[in-house]
Structures are given as C-alpha cells and as structure tokens.
Amino acid sequence: MARPNILFITLDQFRGDSLSCAGHPLVETPHLDELAAEGVRLARHYSQAAPCAPGRAALYTGTYQTNNRVVANGTPLDDRFDNIARVAARGGYRPTLFGYTDQGVDPRDVLGSDDPRLSNYEGILPGFDAELDLPGECTAWLEWLADEHGHHFDRGDDALSTEHERPAELSVSAFLTDRLLGWVDRQDGPWFAHASYLRPHPPYSAAGRFARMYRPEDCAPPVPAQADPSGLHRVLLGIPYVAAPADPADMQYLQSQYFGMISEVDAQLGRIWEHLRRAGEWDDTIVIVTSDHGEQLGDQGLLHKVGFFESSYHVLGIVRDPRCPSTFGTVVDRFTENIDVMPTLCELLGLPIPAQCDGYPLTPFLDGVEPPSWRDAAYYEWDWRDSQLPTVGDGRPWDRSLEQMSLAVRRSEHRAFVQFGNGTWRCFDLATDPTWRTEEQDPSVVLAEATAMLAWRSSNLDRTMTGLLLRDGGVGRFPPPRTT
C-alpha cells in the first residue's frame, strides 16, 4: 500500500487477561481473537499510569509519568510534548477523534480565565479533530437517545448505569461505531482515526443481551487481599468507591457485567472489521488496540484502577499490519508498554521518533525479528496526591510532601519491586506466588531489584535538550555522529 489507513483503538479499563485468546476461562472475545490471529498479540503489555488522564498522557506522548508529570485527572499536559496526533499530521493525515482523550489543556496557552477548558480535564489532545467528542457526560449520545429513541436522561452516568435495560443497538459503544463507520465511508483517501471507547469502564452495566451473557455464579473469585506493611492498601480499602463488594454474590454480579461489557464492545469491533472488509479497506488498514489502564475487578479487595497491583496495569495489546502477514498469529511474551505505541506509529509512517519518547518501536516484532536489546521488565507509576489534598503540603514551591504520595513498580519475570516516594519499598516473589501475596525474603535479590529500579530512573530522564550541544557550526547532537 502507498500509505495505509490507521485505526487506533482504546478500550477503557480493559484487563490484559480478559481475552479468550489469552486463555480466559469465561469471557468471549471472538473479534479481538480474530484480530490477534491476523496480527501480533502483546501478551505482557502494560499501561504506565492510572487513572485515565495519566494513563493516556503516557500512551499519547510515549513518555513515562516521571517525565510528562500528568499525575491525576486534571493535571495539565505540558504543550511542549509531541503526541500521536501531531505525528499523524506530520505524516500527511488529518487525525480524527471518536470518543475522548481526557487531557487537560496547558493553562499557559489559554487566554482568559473564563475559558471553559480551564475547568475540564476531559479535553481533546492537541492535534486531533473531534468528529465525535464524547467525554464523561456523553452528551451527544444522550441527545441521540432522546431525539431518535425517546429515552431521556439528565446525566451520562444515569444512561450508562441502565444500559442493561435497553437493546444493545442503543449502547454508547454502538453509537460511537455508527459515527465512525459513517465517517470512514465519506473519506476519499488514507485516513487516521482514533476510536476511544468507554467500555468496559464502569458503571458496571452491560448493554442489552450482553448483560445476561454470563451467569454470575460462573465467575471465579477474585484474588483476596493480603497484609500490607506499607499501609497504602489499608488506605485504599477505606475509600468507598474503590472497595470491592463484601458480598461474594454482589462481586460475581459485577464481574458478569464487566465481562458482558467486554463482549459487547468486542461485537462493535466485529462490525468495524466486517465494514472495512466489505469496503475493500481491511488490507489497507493498520489496526492498533490497547487500553489506558486495567481494572482490579475485586482483586486484593479493590475495584477500578488504584495502587501497585498488576490488575490495574496489565492491559490488552494487539497490532495488525497487513504488510506483515508472515507474523500473523504471533504472540510476543517480552514486556511491552503503552509508551511503545507512539514510536511504533512513527516507524510505521516512516517518520523519525522524537527524542522525548521513552518507549521503543514494536516494529521488529511485527517483522518477526527479535530486537537486539529489549527491556527485561515493565514499569508503571501511580500518584495519589489528589486523594490527600488539602491535608498534605503547604503550597510552597519547595515543599515536597506531595511528591511522596507516589510509587513506581518494576515488574520483571519473577518479581515485582514497588518503590514508594517516601523511601519505603515492597518486593513480591511472583515465581513462588503470582497472586502478589508473598514477599521476597532474600536481601540480595531485593537489592538487585532496587538497583535496577534506580537504573531505570536514571536512563529515562528527559533527554529532549540533553541530547543537543551548541557548537561553532550550530546546534548538533551529542555525541556527534560517528564517522568511518
């Protein structure tokens, strides 16, 4: 193909284990399975932060939270960062959004204190044209439900929490898919679309028949909680909206709805695959699917995306490049990360990778080539200062109390090392116990993990300007290019 279409899909709060092709014993995802069979599935793929805005900032810019500093829903994204939409525009596309990106505007670039963008973290990533802007209140969907189908709702959550009461054809996912397919049919050249689906994000209410697709009694019990010397887990369990239901029956019903939401949005993806095939565009379209973060789903007694446990950060990852049929059906077991998406897009479009990117291009895996060097662990971060305000910190620029409300995780083959901002740590022995309930006892092993965490920090400091030198001949790279 001369220039491919790009379809970049995010499924919000999608756990990495909730795919039938990944071996889940209950959930059915035939269309994601189909995509994996015609592409490359990333079995150990991780988001870099939670909740939504931090996770998406890392995904969209290719940078760790330690560099982009989007630490909460509402933290502005510094406009100096390049992003996937700007990359697509440099590649000759008009990057178009269906859904949302949850990025706060850089307030230094906004004229006037009455600009509504200053009161909203659900802004659009710079560079995107929003064909369908569908943030949390889902206003466009609510208007469609009222005008076309006579269903009236004052709030988005009211409509979302009652999706089980209406036909699946009226779901928020079906609404987005309809708009996307109509737009695709109107394009007369290569296109770049970002389809940002809400589901399986809560409220836990699957649409129509999908609400009854899974019997609650068939859902396996979550991983139970464990003693927590750090005290953080105890704090989380005290926050009502992240504590899992105490009644096992209630927890199983919630799981059944989560799995139903997954199968419903999977069915919408099936509509896209079929539409592109009928239009003769399937083999002209690169498809990338991932999520902004995972979901605890009762593991460790928690819901949503919080803390340091893997359930909140291990996400799905599938890439299909029709130009690489020899690797169709490949499963990559190396650790991959959402920050790899932006450099991958750059290479797929033949563009240079910005110096800001902390991730690596996934293109060697798409070509069936083992990269000469690759990470031996996945890394992610979580910052909970927004839950502490205004009780911590005095507002002075040199006060660092809030910076201690953070953690970073190194998830390697056999261990998970958690470094807290206050200097404490935990180290889990995952080879012995993959449920994150057994602590590593060997001091030498803990020291090696801590050293690797420090090396990760050191090697991923911002290099945008540090890679440059001002010389007699003007701005040059450091070190200078090698000469033969």
Decide if 185 is inside a domain.
yes
Q: Which of 271, 274, 100 is nearest to 195 (CA)?
A: 100
* Element (DSSP H or E) covering residue 184: helix 172-186
Decide if 123 is inside a domain.
yes
Q: How far is CA 114 from CA 73, 107, 319, 418, in A?
A: 20, 11, 42, 41
- Chain centroid to CA 310: 13
Decide if 57 is inside a domain.
yes
Q: Is 237 exposed, middle or buried (CB count within 10 Å of its CB: 0-12, 13-18, 19+)?
A: middle
Quote the pLDDT of residue 463: 86
Query: In whole angstroms, how large is the CA radius of gyration of the chain?
Result: 22
Decide if 446 is inside a domain.
no
Quote the pLDDT of residue 326: 97
* Phi then psi dihedrals of residue 384, to 5 deg: -120, 30
What pLDDT tens digit does each residue of the chain (484 aa) get? 689 999 999 999 999 999 999 999 999 999 999 999 999 999 999 999 999 999 999 999 999 999 999 999 999 999 999 999 999 999 999 999 999 999 999 998 887 778 888 888 899 999 999 999 999 899 999 999 999 999 999 999 999 999 999 999 999 999 999 999 999 999 999 999 999 999 999 999 999 999 999 999 999 999 998 766 667 776 776 677 898 999 999 999 999 999 999 999 999 999 999 999 999 999 999 999 999 999 999 999 999 999 999 999 999 999 999 999 999 999 999 999 999 999 999 999 999 999 999 999 999 999 999 998 899 999 999 998 887 655 666 667 778 888 888 999 999 999 999 999 999 999 999 999 999 999 999 999 999 999 999 999 999 999 888 878 887 777 776 666 665 5
Angle between helices 172-186 and 139-149 (to 10 degrees): 90
Question: How far apart are the C-alpha atoms of 286 and 5, rounded to whole Å?
Answer: 6
CATH number at residue 83: 3.40.720.10
Decide if 310 is inside a domain.
yes
Quote the pLDDT of residue 179: 98
Query: Residue 405: CA atoms inside 13 Å, Cβ hemisphere, count?
Result: 20
Question: How far apart are the C-alpha atoms of 470 and 411, rounded to whole Å?
Answer: 39
**Catalytic, out of 52, 219, 346, 357:** 52
Q: State both tokens at 443.
A: 């001091």
Question: How far apart are the C-alpha atoms of 208 and 163, rounded to whole Å?
Answer: 6
Residue 280 domain boundaries? 5-376
Decide if 388 is inside a domain.
no
Decide if 409 is inside a domain.
no
Clarify whether 357 is annotated catalytic: no
Tell the residue number behind the tokens 């396996």, with chain if given.
220
Angle between helices 248-278 and 30-37 (to 10 degrees): 50
Quote the pLDDT of residue 162: 98
The total domain count for the chain is 1
Question: How far apart are the C-alpha atoms of 321 and 38, rounded to whole Å?
Answer: 8
Quote the pLDDT of residue 16: 97
Quote the pLDDT of residue 367: 96
Q: Is the peptide bond between 200 and the residue preceding it cis, with omega within 30 degrees of 0? A: yes
Q: How far is CA 177 from CA 101, 123, 268, 401, in A?
A: 17, 21, 7, 45
Decide if 241 is inside a domain.
yes
- The model's pTM is 0.95
